[in-house]
Amino acid sequence: MIEKLNVKRSRQKIIVYSIVIIWLVSINIWLLNTYYLSSSSSAEELMPTNSIYNEYETSNEGDDDSKDITDSSSREKSVKDELIIKILQKQLSKAKDTRTMDTPASIYKSIFEKHDIDSIFGNLDFDQRCQLFFKNLFIRDHNWIFNPNEDIQLENKNEFKFNDYKKWHMEEYKTEFAKQHHKNVDEVEHTPQFEDFVKAKYEDFWNRTMTYEQKIVDHVSTLRIFNKCFITSDNKTQISQTNQFIKDQFKLVDGVRRVSKKPSTPAFVSSKEENLVSFHSLESSVLEHRVYPWLSFELPVYERWTGRIQYNPPIMADYIKDGSQKKKSTTDSSSSSSSFFLNKLKQKSNGKGLVLSIGDSHVDDTVRLIHLLRALNNKLPIQIVYYDNLSKDTKNKIVTAATDLMTTVPKSFENVARYFPEDYLTNGLPKQEVWFINTYNAIHADFRQKFKKYSNKFLATLFNSFDEFILIDADTVLMQSPEYFFNLPGYIETGTFFYKDRTTYETRPISDAKFFEKLGPSIIDSVMFNIPIMTQYTLDKPFFKGLFHYMESGLVVLNRNIHYNSILMMLQLNFYTTVNGRIHGDKEIFWLAMAINGDENYTFNEHFAASVGKITPQLERAKPDGTEHKSEEICSPHPGHVSSYDDALVWFNSGFHYCGQLDAVDYAKEFSHKSRLKHIQSLEAFETFYRNPLQIEAAIIPPMDLNIHAVNAEDEPSKGWFMDKRYCNGYCWCGYSIIGGNTKEGKNNELVGKVVHFDDKAIELFKYYGDVWVGIE
Ligand SMILES: *[C@@H]1O[C@H](CO)[C@@H](O)[C@H](O)[C@H]1NC(C)=O
Ligand SMILES: *[C@@H]1O[C@H](CO)[C@@H](O)[C@H](O)[C@H]1NC(C)=O
Ligand SMILES: *[C@@H]1O[C@H](CO)[C@@H](O)[C@H](O)[C@H]1NC(C)=O
Ligand SMILES: *[C@@H]1O[C@H](CO)[C@@H](O)[C@H](O)[C@H]1NC(C)=O
């Protein structure tokens, strides 16, 4: 028996050894090909000499062309270029690294100065690496802390190139230079001294920019490493993944040393300073406070619609007993001994539902939304997360909307009654389980001013108590029941579902893309902590090619268990002026934070936003010669979202009134234009039309027109979207199904989008939902 076992064992051994040998041989071949053979040509890669943005262009007159501005870290051969790091990275990901830069946290420099690379990757397990990282942060500065209030300015967002910079500041610098040298403003330009003066200014600007960017890189790296090391470190999946990752690295380091005939892996020796830092006392009491100084480490206050208040997240299954609310299984993550607040917060979340973040000014829309949710037969709980104080009056209105008996439904229900279950109206429209969550005391007093306005949405993301939630704006209009979104295949696969914005022609400078790319995980992050670098999945998004608006965040579906660390990254990113100065509101932060966190497991609906409403009759927009356009047009104040799975309209923005700007509109003026909505005869009817529900028959998703101006000779639109400022107080946008056509030169630049005509059932349902939302009998 024992012999048999031995035979089996030794056979296993042979198999394991042969796998290792094949592996090493293939690595050698890979090395030979990609490293040794190309080493002459990749010298540049090893010794990056250009500035990171590579956009410094010396002017014609400059005689010191060779002068480069480089941040100091890239002057030296960096750790990421060490052979072993390349091999380890190769082992992690087969995909080619297509990023244009790699920016490690500066603390790695001190770590790798002290330690032999092989001694780290060949010996240290995951916990030991975490300790090494944080010990060194303390050694560098005992008082290190993230300060979200630190003022980091985004200056000259559009002027990263020298020539642009020069152009923008020419007058200012001419004046300054002339004053300093007692010269006439007109005679300073084109002198070598003035050129040097401008260059020095630019170098200062560049240095300031690189300095603060490195600072943000350091913050963001520490955050993602802290989260992985301590917040999700009780996750069984993560534990087994990191164990395997470490084991593979040990084998690889050992194997590579054998192949290159080096002695066996050197032991890891802590430096004297590292020995002096007692890590475990740090861990529990200090680390989380240093990384998250804006938390008060108090839970928010949870208030049920009945007025009952509690200081712990509610167990939703106690309130909604239809099986939709799962309790957390304690086997998955050991209800652990972790002393971290954020870890406990995560463990207390449960169930699923809808989340809104509102202030008193949103109460009317919220009430309408709740009526709509009742009509949609929603059974999921709703949590209203607030920060700035929500008045009693607002709460009362919301509770009334959610719980009053609603037995009368609009007349339009008759046409759709057959689509609803039999008990739909038995006890009136279903009541809603509403909770209010007050987050004021969960934020440290020093940082409360950071959480005004848009950022509330991220607080709602963190402090709602669900495992899975749909985060919506008060003026978001759902056309499907909330359950529909949780069942989307993309959501089930990745634990996120996002929607895209209108592809308007606004663009962003390429320096934005560089900045966000720079914040992503570095190669060292990936080989030390198994946090993957950004791939083409993210970098191929049109946002990185200069599209200004990519995401529309009026409805976001998120699984917090899977993406907890990314949610924490969203909050952190939102603190930086240099991040939100590049983004309209909170829109792009959801997916960017995920990618920056090394989590590319997010899904977007494939279609961009559509214009929804009625197709403009061709007669109303005939060409100058009286013929019809090939393109179709919908002008509407509402961007709508059409599912790329089944072309259903799933939700749209800006409420259900035809115009969401009712109080701001100058009706007489808008009516007087008489170039759209020509069927409306009187000013009174015009006002009523604006107030009534949007009528939806079709949707147009224009072709993507980034940087394309499809100028043509056929009077077809040259861009997919056109904002007609004259209507709905400037909120009316026209979308076109086709842009371009034959040009004067006899070419054809036509691009085709998509037109969706909804069927009768859908149109009748939209009508019913519209009547409920607006409150028409
Ligand atoms: C760049 O800026 C930093 C801090 O603002 C300063 O310490 C450093 O001396 C500057 N370097 C150069 C080359 O100007
Ligand atoms: C919230 O509002 C109430 C009255 O509406 C007021 O008494 C209270 O002081 C406010 N609290 C804060 C923190 O602003
Ligand atoms: C994405 O998430 C799914 C399910 O949670 C998982 O199976 C898959 O491996 C993840 N993909 C990546 C790239 O992390
Ligand atoms: C653990 O992490 C994985 C992916 O990282 C996720 O799918 C899973 O839901 C997490 N489990 C818990 C209990 O948080």
The predicted-structure confidence for 761-771, as pLDDT tens digits, reads as follows 999 999 999 99
What pLDDT score was predicted for residue 10?
A: 60
For residue 562, the CA-to-ligand 4 centroid distance in Å is: 5
For residue 489, the CA-to-ligand 3 centroid distance in Å is: 13
CA distance 88 to 2: 38
Cβ atoms of residues 766 and 758 within 8 Å = yes
- Above pLDDT 90, what percent of the chain? 66
CA distance 400 to 374: 12
Shared-domain flag, residues 437 and 567: yes
Last residue of a domain, one of 596, 624, 658: 596
Q: Indicate which ligand has the atom closest to the C-alpha of 439.
A: 2
Q: In angstroms, what is the C-alpha Rg of the chain?
A: 30
* Rounded mean pLDDT, 726-735: 96
72 lines ligand 1 (CB under 6 A): no
Is residue 171 included in any domain, yes or no? no
Longest dimension (CA), the chain: 101
Ligand 3 test: best mutation among 492, 493, 531, most atoms within 8 Å of CB?
Answer: 493
Residue 469's H or E segment, with its range, is: strand 468-472
391 lines ligand 2 (CB under 6 A): yes
Shared-domain flag, residues 555 and 701: no
The predicted-structure confidence for 648-685, as pLDDT tens digits, reads as follows 999 999 999 999 999 999 999 999 999 899 899 999 99
Last residue of a domain, one of 553, 572, 596: 596
Is residue 278 included in any domain, yes or no? no
For residue 534, the CA-to-ligand 1 centroid distance in Å is: 29
What pLDDT score was predicted for residue 88?
A: 87
Residue 22: pLDDT band with limits 50, 70, 90: low
Ligand 2 test: best mutation among 361, 387, 389, most atoms within 8 Å of CB?
Answer: 389
Q: What residue owns the CA closest to ligand 4's atom 4?
A: 562
207 lines ligand 1 (CB under 6 A): yes
Q: Indicate which ligand has the atom closest to the C-alpha of 67.
A: 1
Which two structure tokens, joined as six digits, stand for 554?
A: 């009026």
Shared-domain flag, residues 639 and 703: yes
Which two structure tokens, joined as six digits, stand for 249?
A: 């690295």
For residue 345, the CA-to-ligand 4 centroid distance in Å is: 15
pLDDT of residue 587 exceeding 50, the answer is: yes
Shared-domain flag, residues 556 and 703: no
- What is the model's pTM? 0.89
Which two structure tokens, joined as six digits, stand for 40?
A: 């002459």
Most confident of 189-203, 269-283, 743-757: 743-757
The predicted-structure confidence for 281-339, as pLDDT tens digits, reads as follows 667 678 999 999 999 999 999 999 999 999 999 999 999 999 899 887 655 555 556 78
Shared-domain flag, residues 402 and 496: yes
> Per-residue b/e over 278-301, b at no fewer than 16 CB within 10 Å?
ebeebbeeebbebbbbbbbeebbe
Which two structure tokens, joined as six digits, stand for 87?
A: 């091999």
Is residue 69 included in any domain, yes or no? no
CA distance 576 to 222: 15
* Rounded mean pLDDT, 744-748: 93
CA distance 589 to 578: 12
CA angle (755 as vertex; 753, 759 as ends), nearest 5: 160
Q: Which atom of ligand 1 lies at the shortest distance from residue 207's CA?
A: 1
CA distance 452 to 197: 41
The predicted-structure confidence for 548-586, as pLDDT tens digits, reads as follows 899 999 999 999 999 999 999 999 998 888 888 888 878
Q: What residue owns the CA closest to ligand 2's atom 14?
A: 389
Shared-domain flag, residues 560 and 622: no
What pLDDT score was predicted for residue 159?
A: 67
DSSP reduced 3-state for 436: strand
Q: Indicate which ligand has the atom closest to the C-alpha of 561.
A: 4
Shared-domain flag, residues 573 and 623: no
CA distance 70 to 63: 19
260 lines ligand 1 (CB under 6 A): no
333 lines ligand 4 (CB under 6 A): yes
> Per-residue b/e over 401-415, b at no fewer than 16 CB within 10 Å?
bbbeebeebbebbee
Q: Which atom of ligand 4 lies at the shortest distance from residue 346's CA?
A: 14
Shared-domain flag, residues 569 and 486: yes
211 lines ligand 1 (CB under 6 A): yes
For residue 387, the CA-to-ligand 2 centroid distance in Å is: 11
Q: What residue owns the CA closest to ligand 2's atom 1?
A: 389
Shared-domain flag, residues 494 and 522: yes
Domain that holds residue 737: 610-774
Q: What is the CATH number of the domain that holds 430?
A: 3.90.550
Q: Which residue has the higher pLDDT, 338 or 618?
A: 618
Q: Domain total for the chain?
A: 2
Is residue 259 included in any domain, yes or no? no
Please give the distance of CA 36 from its chain centroid, rounded to a whole number: 39
Q: Indicate which ligand has the atom closest to the C-alpha of 441.
A: 2
Cβ atoms of residues 710 and 739 within 8 Å = yes
What pLDDT score was predicted for residue 519?
A: 96
Flag the least confident range among 74-88, 549-563, 586-600.
Answer: 74-88
Shared-domain flag, residues 522 and 640: no
Which two structure tokens, joined as six digits, stand for 723?
A: 């904002």
601 lines ligand 3 (CB under 6 A): yes
pLDDT of residue 757 exceeding 80, the answer is: yes
566 lines ligand 3 (CB under 6 A): no
Q: What is the DSSP string of 260-286?
A: TTPPSPPPP---HHHHHS-HHHHIIII
What pLDDT score was predicted for residue 277?
A: 85
What pLDDT score was predicted for residue 3?
A: 52
List the one residue out of 379, 363, 352 whose CA is nearest residue 433.
Answer: 379
571 lines ligand 3 (CB under 6 A): no
pLDDT of residue 503 exceeding 80, the answer is: yes
Is residue 20 included in any domain, yes or no? no
Mean residue pLDDT of the chain comes to: 87
Contacts of 706 (CB under 8 A, 6+ apart): 503, 505, 507, 542, 545, 546, 547
For residue 207, the CA-to-ligand 1 centroid distance in Å is: 6
Residue 178: pLDDT band with limits 50, 70, 90: confident
DSSP reduced 3-state for 736: strand
332 lines ligand 4 (CB under 6 A): yes
What pLDDT score was predicted for residue 90?
A: 85
Shared-domain flag, residues 558 and 629: no
Shared-domain flag, residues 647 and 591: no
Q: What residue owns the CA closest to ligand 4's atom 1?
A: 235
What pLDDT score was predicted for residue 730?
A: 93
Residue 57: pLDDT band with limits 50, 70, 90: very low
* Rounded mean pLDDT, 42-51: 36
Q: Indicate which ligand has the atom closest to the C-alpha of 227.
A: 4
Q: Which atom of ligand 2 lies at the shortest distance from residue 388's CA?
A: 14
Which two structure tokens, joined as six digits, stand for 658?
A: 């035809």
For residue 389, the CA-to-ligand 2 centroid distance in Å is: 6
Q: Where are the alpha helices (DSSP H) in 446-488?
A: 456-463, 482-486
For residue 109, the CA-to-ligand 1 centroid distance in Å is: 18
Is residue 129 included in any domain, yes or no? no
Flag the least confident range among 34-43, 494-503, 624-633, 704-713.
Answer: 34-43
Is residue 195 included in any domain, yes or no? no
For residue 390, the CA-to-ligand 2 centroid distance in Å is: 8
* Rounded mean pLDDT, 459-483: 97
Is residue 95 included in any domain, yes or no? no
445 lines ligand 2 (CB under 6 A): no
Contacts of 342 (CB under 8 A, 6+ apart): 227, 231, 288, 292, 295, 568
Last residue of a domain, one of 554, 574, 596: 596
Q: Indicate which ligand has the atom closest to the C-alpha of 359.
A: 2
Query: What order of strands is seen across the sheet that includes strand 610-613?
Result: 477-478, 649-652, 639-642, 610-613, 698-701, 754-757
Q: Indicate which ligand has the atom closest to the C-alpha of 559.
A: 4
pLDDT of residue 31 exceeding 60, the answer is: no
